[in-house]
Amino acid sequence: MSIPLQVLHTPAGFGAAACARGAGEGAGGPEKKEKCGVFGVWGAPNPARLAYFGLYAQQHRGQESAGIAVTDGESLAAHTGMGLVAEVFTERTMRELVAWAGPESLARASGSAAGGGNGRPDGADGSGRSGIRGAIGHNRYSTTGASLSCNAQPILESYIGGQVAVGHNGNLLNAAALRQTYEENGHIFHTTSDSEVVVHLLASPEQQRSTDPLASALRRLQGAFSMVFLFPDRVEAARDPWGWRPLVLGRAPGGYPVVASETVALDAIAATYEREVEPGEIVTLSDDGVSSRRFAESAERPAHCVFEHVYFAHPSSRVFGKTVQIVREKLGEQLAREAPVEADCVIPMPDSGRSAAHGYALASGVPYREGIVPNRYVGRTFIKPTQNERTDAVRLKLNVVEEIVRGKRIIIVDDSIVRGTTTKAKMDQLRSAGAKEIHLRISCPPIRHPCYFGVDFAQREELIAHERTVEDIRAFLGVDSLHYLSLEGMLACSATPERPAEHYCTACYSGEYRLDPEQPMSKGILERRQMKMFE
């Protein structure tokens, strides 16, 4: 079987021109999106299989594209594609990744040609180690760089120091400035993702002259990043000095080291949690075990994204020292204390409002009912760019149980409101179903400001709460009452003695940024730069 050395799957139209042509595609999208999920493992039998399951468990962190990069100890290969993990990685593509590492691993993988196998994602029969030494994986949602196949990660590149693959969760404030500098010096970029800048930093002569090129490159970055790097002889994982995004270290069965964005990925492969990767730390996974070094000191006042607790992270994950499900239930309990109302039932907005709704019902004593049922087969396929299309999608995705809401005073609990257009469509559905009163309760404060650190609501004009009062929003949504959880109440639920309230980033609520985004970066800024090159 002939497998290309570097990239097993090259999407159609790959390259700078293709990315430029795609600028602006996919506008509209869902109301709130997180940048990505990352995973890395070294030394374990069947690392590609573990990476597959690690990504599958973190599918909630990114649904636009997925990718896995592997090494046989000498060189690297990668497979990336648009879509969900199970769409990008079939039994065949997983066998190809294993086969690339050598005929011996292919024989162990399935013992037969394509079309056979035992149904496991990488065709492994469990009989022994494949030729793959390590792997990293990535789920992507785009925050900088449009939703295009050329932006799928891990990004695999060859440079003067060898080969490297990179997966990135976060957003870099100085990516556009760094990119411009490198382009003016003749560098060619193949994607419009801010993450590719890291590869060019790593390959630069000044970094290569350093005794630690990776640490030197990371010091040049400004913004949020939890990253995994795959080299032929190791996996490296790094987290920005502010700790915006989660990154954890664990051990797979047999003691093999693993890193992931969330502990739910460790659970999926029966790995044990050891600790967080500290802000400013690089962790190396290799044949020598696990080692650690610092590229920067941790910020005196970290900036953990509180929205991980509110919305992004998986309920079963432990993020920033707390189990997410417990935090969300406490958010609902606090919301019930701050905004009580007489009603017949509490109904969650599926699925992200469910945990807070349980907490609200528990604290208020109002019965909990499932009055809105999601259609799980609609998914992201029906995320459309226009308001009318988004409204149609809501009707298809969420079905109201009329017998539960008709003639009732209902409390609807949701995690947040960003644009407000889809929320209004949901409220209209409830009115049409005969709800007597609708009292909307939101388990976080109003989102009034853009995020520049890995959340895709970076345009002020998109935010319904920007320069609008709560009463303005209530009137637009057509509900009888609207109450957001207070900032103090939210932080009280997330904080611990080790991580007090001031260690959380609340910029999207308060407008107080830990880093000043001197050149606020919209999602398409790198596409627009490339479009000028091809005009």
Task: Quote the DSSP letter at residue 486.
Answer: P
AA identity, residue 63? Q
Q: What spatial distance separates the first Cα and last Cα of the chain, rounded to whole Å? A: 41
Task: Quote the DSSP letter at residue 75.
Answer: -
pLDDT value of position 100:
87
| Confidence category of residue 103, pLDDT binned at 50, 70, 90 | low
pLDDT over 50 (residue 474): yes
pLDDT over 70 (residue 97): yes
Distance between CA atoms of 211 and 194, rounded to whole angstroms?
25
CB neighbourhood size of 17 (10 A):
14
More confident: 532 or 14 = 532
In this structure, whether the domain defined by 325-497 belongs to CATH 3.40.50.2020 is answered with yes
| Confidence category of residue 381, pLDDT binned at 50, 70, 90 | very low
Domain ranges of the chain: 16-24+32-303, 325-497
| Confidence category of residue 349, pLDDT binned at 50, 70, 90 | very high
Tokens for 358, please give them.
């349980």
pLDDT over 80 (residue 387): no
C-alpha to C-alpha distances, 114 to 53, 77, 91, 144, 318, nearest whole angstrom:
21, 19, 9, 37, 39
Distance between CA atoms of 389 and 378, rounded to whole angstroms?
13
**Which CATH superfamily is 16-24+32-303 part of?**
Aminohydrolase, N-terminal nucleophile (Ntn) domain (3.60.20.10)
Per DSSP, what are the bridge partners of residue 167?
228
Distance between CA atoms of 237 and 250, rounded to whole angstroms?
12
| Confidence category of residue 15, pLDDT binned at 50, 70, 90 | very low
pLDDT over 60 (residue 452): yes
Output the 3-class SS for 70-115. Answer: EECCCCEEEEEEECCHHHHCCHHHHHHHHHHCCHHHHHHHCCCCCC
Residues 6+ apart with CB under 8 A from 349: 357, 372, 412, 413, 414, 415, 426
Tokens for 8, please give them.
């097993």
pLDDT over 50 (residue 159): yes
Task: Quote the DSSP letter at residue 428.
Answer: H
Per DSSP, what are the bridge partners of residue 319?
322
Task: Quote the DSSP letter at residue 150.
Answer: G
| Confidence category of residue 378, pLDDT binned at 50, 70, 90 | low
pLDDT value of position 500:
97
Distance between CA atoms of 127 and 440, rounded to whole angstroms?
55
pLDDT single digits (tens) 256-283: 999 999 999 999 999 999 999 999 999 9
pLDDT value of position 276:
98
More confident: 233 or 18 = 233
- Catalytic site positions: 36
Contact (Cβ atoms closer than 8 angstroms) between residue 406 and residue 429: no
Per DSSP, what are the bridge partners of residue 398?
374
pLDDT over 60 (residue 534): no
Contact (Cβ atoms closer than 8 angstroms) between residue 454 and residue 226: no
pLDDT value of position 4:
32
Q: Is 505 exposed, middle or buried (0-12, 13-18, 19+ CB in 10 A)?
A: buried
CB neighbourhood size of 292 (10 A):
12
CB neighbourhood size of 233 (10 A):
16
Residue 290, SS3 per DSSP: strand
pLDDT value of position 130:
64
C-alpha to C-alpha distances, 58 to 94, 218, 259, nearest whole angstrom:
18, 25, 12
Strand ranges (E), 343-442: 345-348, 372-374, 398-400, 409-414, 437-442
**Residue 394 exposure: Cα atoms within 13 Å on the Cβ side:** 24
Written as one string, the DSSP assignment of 288-305 is TEEEEEESSPPPSS--EE
Written as one string, the DSSP assignment of 108-141 is HHTSSSTT-S-S-TT---SSS--S--EEEEEEE-
Distance between CA atoms of 352 and 264, rounded to whole angstroms?
17
Backbone angles phi, psi at 236, to 5 degrees: -120, 140
Distance between CA atoms of 421 and 433, rounded to whole angstroms?
19
Backbone angles phi, psi at 489, to 5 degrees: -65, -40
Distance between CA atoms of 113 and 123, rounded to whole angstroms?
11
> Residue 288: in which H helix or E strand, if any?
none
Given phi > 0 = left and psi -120 to 50 = alpha, else beta, which region is 338? alpha
Average the pLDDT over each of 28-42, 103-117, 144-158, 185-199 and give the range with the smallest value. Answer: 103-117
Q: Kind of pairing, strands 36-42 and 76-82?
A: unpaired
User: In terms of Cα–Cα distance, which of 378, 368, 473, 446 is closest to 413?
Assistant: 368
Average the pLDDT over each of 28-37, 123-132, 338-347, 525-534 and give the range with the smallest value. Answer: 525-534
Backbone angles phi, psi at 277, to 5 degrees: -70, 125
Contact (Cβ atoms closer than 8 angstroms) between residue 394 and residue 414: no
pLDDT value of position 334:
99
pLDDT over 70 (residue 385): no
pLDDT over 60 (residue 2): no
Given phi > 0 = left and psi -120 to 50 = alpha, else beta, which region is 170? left
Q: What predicted TM-score, i.e. pTM, was given to this entire model?
A: 0.85
Average pLDDT of the chain is 84
pLDDT value of position 151:
79
